[in-house]
Copies of this chain bind each other. A is one copy, B any other.
Amino acid sequence: MKRREILAGVGAAALAGCAQEQTDSQVAASVETFEWKMVTTWPPNFPGMGTGVARMVKQIEQASGGRLKIHVYAANELVPAMEVFDTVSRGAVDMGHGASYYWKGKTEATQFFTAIPFGMNVLEMNGWLYFGGGLELYRELYADFNLVPFPAGNTGVQMGGWFNTEIHSVADLKGLKMRIPGLGGAVLERAGGTPVTLPGGEIFTSLQTGVIDATEWVGPYNDMIMGLHEVARYYYYPGWQEPGPTLECIVNKDAWAVLPADLQAIIEIASAALNDQMTAEFMARNAEALAELEKDSRVEIREFPPEVIEQMRVWTNEVLDELVARDPKAAKIYASFSKYKKKAVRWSAISEQAFLNTRSL
């Protein structure tokens, strides 16, 4: 963290005449500048996530009149992707961007704030986080790690993954070595598959050379840039494993505490703006990419059979039951998540779902 207090005294004195409009602390804050470092879990210029973060950082610099400059580092530029949480937690850098479920090794309850299999879509997640008590629980959990989290981006419903064999029943998942992280992987394990965690940069080659048999990644936009449509034939939907993954900005608590209130507010609204605009970018770009993919004769787009979905849900519930039984923090958060979800599902059924289904009439 590089904090500059240029002319702070002069500024506060010179601007004292504004007291009618502004408090002294706000005025004093307005002449301090901050240069922050932000580490992310994404490859450089990663479409959607990385480009979204770049847009947010630019908005923060503009909105602060240049008083808060944030230097963004892609995965491995400063630290590896999987060290983002620790690096921000101990204050080596001020800020990070990634997905909370990457940190389940720290405390398993983090997973609820990104996505769980058969969980909630983007609208439902946002409702829970901002107005259903989710964000308070998120902040409480992260406070133990000296971090302040903000919802900051969403891919929307992901795809179920790329396969080189058709999936007619759960028996077809047996023996499958698939790149699928988190709780989705635990569910695949119950089907007799072998979940593998691989960073983005290794997926293409692993699938091409047969090191893995299948993979899920994000959706048409990201997956095609990675070339997955060139090395797998069947593209399955829907992404039962990640129905509305929320991404996060994390800020070191000490860095946050010394930031003036106006710059804190700018980070808060810029994160919410990214939450809105990244979701929009994925919608528009996935729609474009899918139209291209459907012209590609190498690829067949398939829906998981209902009996596969039903069995995956049964296993998901088992996996969740075990998680909340062994982890009291997960139990507390899942209780809030589930209580809200039950009502949200009913509302979505007669609003979004019913409307979308009029299109299939």
Contacts and interface: CB of A to CB of B under 8 A. Distances in A.
Interface in A206-251: 219-220, 237-240, 243
A262 interface: yes
A131 B262 contact: no
Contact of A281 (B15, B131, B303, B345): B131
Contacts of A353: 353, 356-357, 359-360
Interface string A7-41: 10011001101100111001101110100000000
A346 interface: yes
A146 interface: no
B361 A306 contact: yes
A interface secondary structure, majority: helix
Interface in A285-336: 285-288, 290-291, 294, 301, 303, 306, 309-310, 313
B262 A64 contact: yes
A156 interface: yes
Which 9 pairs show the lowest CB-CB distances between chains A and B? A127-B283, A272-B273, A131-B284, A62-B265, A65-B262, A276-B276, A127-B284, A126-B280, A238-B354
Interface stretch (A76-84, A116-124, A169-177, A183-191): A116-124
A7 B136 CA distance: 41
A125 B204 CA distance: 33
A6 interface: yes
Contacts of A14: 7, 10-11, 14
Work out how many copies of this chain go into the complex. 2
Which of A33, A64, A268 has most B Cβ within 10 Å?
Answer: A64
A191 to B, nearest CB: 16
Most B CB atoms within 10 A — which of A15, A243, A309, A351? A351
A261 B62 contact: yes
Interface in A333-352: 340, 343-352
Interface residues of A, number: 102
Contacts of A355: 121, 157, 238-240, 243
Given A11-B14, A126-B279, A280-B130, A352 B352 contact: yes
A63 B266 contact: yes
Contact of A351 (B238, B275, B344): B238
A104 interface: no
19 contacts: A6-B18, A7-B14, A10-B14, A21-B66, A22-B65, A59-B268, A62-B261, A123-B156, A130-B281, A131-B284, A157-B351, A220-B347, A239-B351, A243-B355, A273-B273, A283-B347, A290-B347, A353-B356, A353-B357
Contacts of A286: 347, 351
A347 B17 CA distance: 56
